[in-house]
Amino acid sequence: MKRGEIPWYRFKPPDKKRPVLILTRDSILRYLGEVTVAPVTTSIRDIPSDVFLSRNDGMKKDCAINFDHIQTVSKNKIGPVITTLSPEKLKMVSRAIQFAPVLVQLVKKYHKGSFKLRPNI
């Protein structure tokens, strides 16, 4: 498993099995039981927080990575890899993540000191 790969993942109902983009950095993946992913959808919205994919990217049909719904999921439920994104697409991913509202809000909270990455133990 590597950052930039797109494997299958089965979400809890009412969702379904769908491709996801692995976002967690490679250097930490082997130590974690969970991984951060962005779902891939056939609903193409043509907005800055999505990245378009096609057959040229190794997908069966046109689709988009949706960065408005990033989540952390169990590594054990990650299925076989469909494709791996090119360095050019990974640059587009970095730009799209900057537009996703949830991440922008988290970054703002972190910089204001109201959001902690790790709880005090």
Q: How many C-beta atoms surround the C-beta of residue 70 within 10 A? A: 19
Task: Report CA Rg, the chain.
Answer: 15
5-112 topology per CATH: SH3 type barrels. (2.30.30)
Instruction: State the pTM of this model.
Output: 0.80
pLDDT at 115 over 50: no
- The domain ranges of the chain are 5-112
Residue 105's pLDDT band, with cuts at 50, 70 and 90, is low
pLDDT of 121 reads: 39
* 7-35: average pLDDT: 91
What letter does residue 61 receive in the DSSP assignment?
S
Residue 118's pLDDT band, with cuts at 50, 70 and 90, is very low
Q: Which residues contact 38 (CB under 8 A, 6 or more apart)?
A: 20, 21, 23, 65, 66, 67, 69, 70, 93
